[in-house]
Amino acid sequence: MGALQLQPSFYNSTTESPREDILHDYMRFLDIRNGGVDPNKGFVNRDAWLKDASSTTVRHSGHIDPEQFKRNFVSFASSADLSKKATALLAFTKVNAGEAYGVKVVTTHRLGHPPTGELIDTLERILGHEEVYHTKILVGATEQFGLEAPTDGWKPYFHLRLLIGSLAYVPNAIFHPILLASEYAGVFAFNWLLNRVSEVFADEPALKETMEARLVEILVDEVGHITFNRMMVGKLGMDIAKAMAPHVADSTTGLTPEFRALGWTKETIKDFDRFDYAALPEEVRKRAFFA
């Protein structure tokens, strides 16, 4: 009788392959996916994806007031007379804003030194630069609604600043479990938003498909980010991350008014206990790096 095969899970230990082998495999994956691994030169494949996405002729059939959208991007007014589609677009454009802010702060403090050339240092820089593309991918959707991409500053709320501040200064033994918990929370939020976008734009199938494609691109990356951070922690660190993740998700996304307006409640976070790798769309699982 053969050994029991465990279902792929975010919360199992990584494969039995040596960590360095997995990291090198991940680097090769990123080189192919991004079209390079030097953040200073940019990633040609991601630039090509953005160019292709920008060239689409698919447009929203309705109208969203530009000034109203701009005001609510800076500060969402729950009483504003916004359509569900306008609210979904706001959530769409802002869901990565917190992570992008966090990457900027953490990178400044943790990777402010010149590149060492070591594998882990290089990977951390690549993953940080992928967040730049995530913001462009999401904000680029505004063009399909006849809107300009938001340029006004988004200000993170206190809970997020506190979490990111802790990430910037804690030692590695604490840093990676917290970061892993944040990645778990992020994937849960992106997957939730993917499902909501599919519902809200169901009557505009072509637009729905392009918005789904943008979220799928990010989910593919985020699965790899989870894999990387799982390799940076031991079993205890993984257990800590798993326990923290629902609280991170609820204290960040749960406090985002756009998400609440789209239906995120205290009941939503209860689904976290059942959320795992298999809950992701098949396309994400087929294209992502997961070990």
Rounded to whole angstroms, the Cα distance separating 239 from 9 reads: 13
**Measured torsion, CA atoms of residues 171, 174, 179, 180, in degrees rounded to the nearest 10:** 140
Percent of the chain with pLDDT over 90: 59
Q: Hey, which bits of the chain come out as E strands?
A: none
Q: Is residue 108 part of a domain?
A: yes
| Angle at alpha carbon of residue 248, lines to 244 and 251, rounded to 5° | 135
Tell me the pLDDT tens digit for each residue of 227-277. 999 999 988 899 999 999 998 888 777 667 899 999 998 899 999 989 999
% pLDDT > 70, the chain: 87
Phi/psi for 61 (5° steps) reads -80, -15
Going by C-alpha positions, the residue among 164, 146, 157 that lies closest to residue 94 is 157
Cβ-Cβ contacts under 8 Å for 19 (sequence gap 6 or more) = 231
Quick: pLDDT tens for 130-155. 988 998 999 999 999 999 988 765 56
In a domain, residue 5? The reply is no
* CATH number reported for the structural domain that contains residue 246 in this entry: 1.20.910
* Residue 279 is assigned to a structural domain of this protein: yes
End-to-end CA distance of the chain: 25
Domain-embedded: residue 232: yes
Task: Please check whether residue 22 lies inside any domain of the structure.
Answer: no
Tell me if the pTM is above 0.85.
Answer: yes
Angle between helices 119-139 and 97-110 (to 10 degrees): 150
Q: Is residue 29 part of a domain?
A: no
Could you tell me if residue 14 is inside a domain?
no
Alpha carbon 132 to its chain's center: 11
- Give per-residue pLDDT as tens, 36-93: 999 889 999 999 999 999 999 999 999 999 999 988 888 887 666 789 999 999 999 8
| Short-list 160, 142, 163, CA closest to 151 | 142
Confidence of residue 2 (pLDDT cuts 50, 70, 90): very low
Domain that holds residue 68: 34-49+63-287
- The counts of H helices and E strands in the chain are 13, 0
Give dist(CA 16, CA 19) in Å, integer: 8
Q: Give the residue carrying structure tokens 């809107």.
A: 147
Q: Determine contact, residues 156/163, Cβ cutoff 8 Å.
A: no
The 10s digit of each residue's pLDDT in 172-205 is 778 889 889 989 999 999 999 999 999 999 999 9
**Distance from C-alpha of 92 to C-alpha of 276, rounded to nearest angstrom:** 22
Residue 96 within a domain: yes
21-46: average pLDDT:
96
Q: What single letter denotes the amino acid at residue 111?
A: L
The span from the CA of 250 to the CA of 37, in Å, is 33
Q: How many domains does the chain have?
A: 1
